[in-house]
Structure 1
């Protein structure tokens, strides 16, 4: 079955601080609507980190959440900045800069791809 015919959700976000909370709340509500619970909050944290990066570097952001199969959840953050995320430099004294490390630790896989309008940063995780 084509993933576009499976449960999915799309949300346009403004690049403002409140977008992170809106994205987390949307992920929680969508998963609950699909009878799946993010018990440990991993998908909410993954979403928070991807949206936070987009807010810092882009002007246009869209969150896409879908279930490509019965065992997987995909979180995609589309934005208008064509530059891909850079590998984090670990600084134990820094207050930020660990977001993509968290995404990598909590997801099965993650990455990014270019689009005509910018890029998509995505993470794939086990469906709760």
Structure 2
């Protein structure tokens, strides 16, 4: 898709969301979907029904920073519930094409 400028950020977002799905969904399939439209949407679906919590971790906490970091790197993010679980989605702004 020619999105080298957002590749690192996208990899970090996918990694965090998949890690959370593995850690908290406790089994069942995990699906990842990337959608390129006006934004780059990343969706990670799992069989869990627990909503993620955005929190500010203390300096001595070993975890709890992932969703905070994702919120800083994305335009929007949220949770959509389904009959089989939930989908956490993020939207990243796409780089503007060079105009000449």
Structures share a fold, TM > 0.5?
yes
- Alignment match, 2:14: 47
- Cα distance 1:73–1:52, how it changes in 2: closer, same or farther (>3 A)? same
- Alignment match, 1:83: 50
Q: How does 1:1-128 map to 2 (within 5 A)?
A: 34-38=1-5, 41-58=8-25, 59=27, 60-69=29-38, 72-128=39-95
Alignment length, in residue pairs?
93
TM-score by length of 1: 0.67
- Cα distance 1:40–1:119, how it changes in 2: closer, same or farther (>3 A)? closer
The whole-number CA distance in structure 1 between the counterparts of 2:81 and 2:54 is 17
The runs of 5 or more residues in structure 1 that have no matched partner are 1-33
The whole-number CA distance in structure 2 between the counterparts of 1:79 and 1:102 is 21
Deviating above 4 A after TM superposition, structure 1's stretches of 4 or more consecutive aligned residues are: none
What CA deviation, in whole Å up to 9, does each residue of 1:4-38 have, x standing for no partner? xxxxxxxxxxxxxxxxxxxxxxxxxxxxxx12214
Q: CA RMSD in A?
A: 1.5
Q: CA deviation at 1:90?
A: 1.8
Q: CA deviation at 1:89?
A: 4.4
- Report which stretch shifted further, 81-90 or 43-52: 81-90
What CA deviation, in whole Å up to 9, does each residue of 1:88-109 have, x standing for no partner? 2422101211000010000001
The runs of 5 or more residues in structure 2 that have no matched partner are 96-100
The whole-number CA distance in structure 2 between the counterparts of 1:75 and 1:110 is 9
